[in-house]
Amino acid sequence: MAPALPTYDDVVRASETLAGVAHRTPVLTSSTADARTGAQVFFKCENFQRMGAFKFRGGYNAIARLSPSQREAGVVTFSSGNHAQAIALAARLLGVRATIIMPNDAPAAKRAATEGYGGQVITYDRYTDDREAVARRVQAETGATLIPPYDHGDVIAGQGTAAKELFEEVGPLDALFVCLGGGGLLAGSALSAHALSPGCAVYGVEPEAGNDGQQSLRKGEIVRIATPKSLADGAVTTHLGQLTFPVIQQRVTDIVTVTDAQLVDTMKFFAERMKMVVEPTGCLSTAAVLHQAIAVPGKRVGVIISGGNVDLANYARLLAA
Ligand SMILES: *Cc1c(COP(=O)(O)O)cnc(C)c1O
């Protein structure tokens, strides 16, 4: 039997769990962005979230909901970076042991940060190994609970709290743009949009090289692709989830794509105009607005900046190019 899909009530419960623990991140505006798009753009800055990305919300919410005996056995997860840091930090705050399965080419800064938060890291090859199988093996050996990066009701509900805060702060919007990897952030955001701003169009934004979400929406079933290569290393997922896909199908207007060049342009825009460090994956949503994947003149538009964790050497190289 398929597990129950998360609802907006789950997002509300997650926001209660996260109150006083997660940062209520700022919503910023930019007259340059407004001039470039003809819209009024509100940036929800999850690059300023604890550990540098929205993933803290879902990770903390999921671990907080475990029973005492589950917490005792610890948690395990697989992640290309930010979910790893989120689980390591959330587990430490909740006094739970965390094992993190990470690709061996993950950015050095992300691995160091994960270990810094007290997570135990195990590596795998993202082009040849099945990370989910590696995680299941650790799970079988230790009894730890698997907290996947996106396909989990409590993770989706936690991720939805960022958009909930955005709508509570700025009121109804005409359109909301959300970075899309496996769809936890998009599904959660769509639940909040539907409840708090029912007329708001919700768009997922993927890297052009990895448009499995767009293909899935068009085809009406989950499409799997080979691991794509993109600067957006947090969104190079191969498929949407059993829980994220149906929510996205029900609540998301469309999925659009942006190129790596547009991501770099957007990173420069954030650095130069808004004085913010935003990682390439975090630039997806804004790149779609600035480069008019969907035209938004005259509209009130929300954009979720999903994270700001960069490898400094890479970041400097991309900005200088
Ligand atoms: C994980 C991540 C995403 C993608 O989120 P999903 O819930 O997998 O769709 C986007 N941006 C950043 C910065 C991330 O860490």
Q: What is the mean pLDDT of residues 51-75?
A: 97
Q: What is the pLDDT of residues 99-144, one digit of tens each?
A: 999 888 877 777 888 899 999 999 898 888 888 888 888 888 999 9
Ligand 1 atom, smallest distance to 204 CA: 9
With a 6 A CB cut-off, is 223 part of the ligand 1 pocket? Answer: no
Ligand 1 atom, smallest distance to 308 CA: 13
State in words which class domain 56-146 has.
Answer: alpha beta
Q: How far is the CA of 234 from the centre of ligand 1 (A)?
A: 5
The domain ranges of the chain are 8-53+152-320, 56-146
* Angstrom distance (rounded) from CA 90 to CA 84: 10
Does this chain's domain 8-53+152-320 share its CATH topology with 56-146? yes
Q: What is the β-pairing status of strands 175-179 and 201-207?
A: parallel
Q: Is 70 exceeded by the pLDDT of residue 1?
A: no
* Backbone angles phi and psi of 257, in degrees to 5: -125, 160
Nearest CA to ligand 1 atom 5: 181
Annotated catalytic residue, options 80, 189, 192, 216? 80
With a 6 A CB cut-off, is 82 part of the ligand 1 pocket? Answer: yes
With a 6 A CB cut-off, is 150 part of the ligand 1 pocket? Answer: yes
Nearest CA to ligand 1 atom 1: 234
Residue at token pair 């290309």: 80
Q: How far is the CA of 68 from the centre of ligand 1 (A)?
A: 29
Asked whether 47 and 145 are in contact (CB, 8 A), the reply is no
Q: How far is the CA of 317 from the centre of ligand 1 (A)?
A: 23
Residue with the bigger pLDDT between 111 and 159: it is 159
Q: What is the mean pLDDT of residues 262-269?
A: 98
Q: What is the pLDDT of residues 194-228, one digit of tens each?
A: 999 999 999 999 999 999 999 999 999 999 999 88
With a 6 A CB cut-off, is 52 part of the ligand 1 pocket? Answer: no
Ligand 1 atom, smallest distance to 79 CA: 1
Q: How confident is the model at residue 80 (pLDDT cuts 50, 70, 90)?
A: low
* pLDDT the model gives residue 209: 93
CA 117 to chain centre: 19
55 catalytic per annotation: yes
* DSSP string covering 104-149: TTS-HHHHHHHHHTTPEEEEE-TTTS-HHHHHHHHHHHH-PEE--S
Structural tokens at position 196: 């708090």
Ligand 1 atom, smallest distance to 307 CA: 13
With a 6 A CB cut-off, is 160 part of the ligand 1 pocket? Answer: no
With a 6 A CB cut-off, is 189 part of the ligand 1 pocket? Answer: no
CA 132 to chain centre: 18
pTM (2 d.p.): 0.95
* Backbone angles phi and psi of 15, in degrees to 5: -65, -30
* Angstrom distance (rounded) from CA 89 to CA 59: 9
Annotated catalytic residue, options 15, 30, 44, 55? 55
* Angstrom distance (rounded) from CA 112 to CA 252: 35
Number of residues that this document lists for the chain:
321
Helices 244-251/184-196 angle, 10° precision: 40
Kindly provide the b/e burial profile for residues 149-185, where b requires at least 16 CB atoms within 10 angstroms of the residue's own CB: bbbbbbbbbbbbbbbbbbbeebeebbbbbbbbbbbbb
Nearest CA to ligand 1 atom 4: 181
* Angstrom distance (rounded) from CA 306 to CA 272: 18
* Angstrom distance (rounded) from CA 65 to CA 68: 9
The CATH number of 8-53+152-320, from 3.30.1540.10, 3.40.50.1100, 3.40.50.300, 3.20.10.10, is 3.40.50.1100
With a 6 A CB cut-off, is 215 part of the ligand 1 pocket? Answer: no
What percent of the chain is predicted at pLDDT more than 90?
83
With a 6 A CB cut-off, is 162 part of the ligand 1 pocket? Answer: no
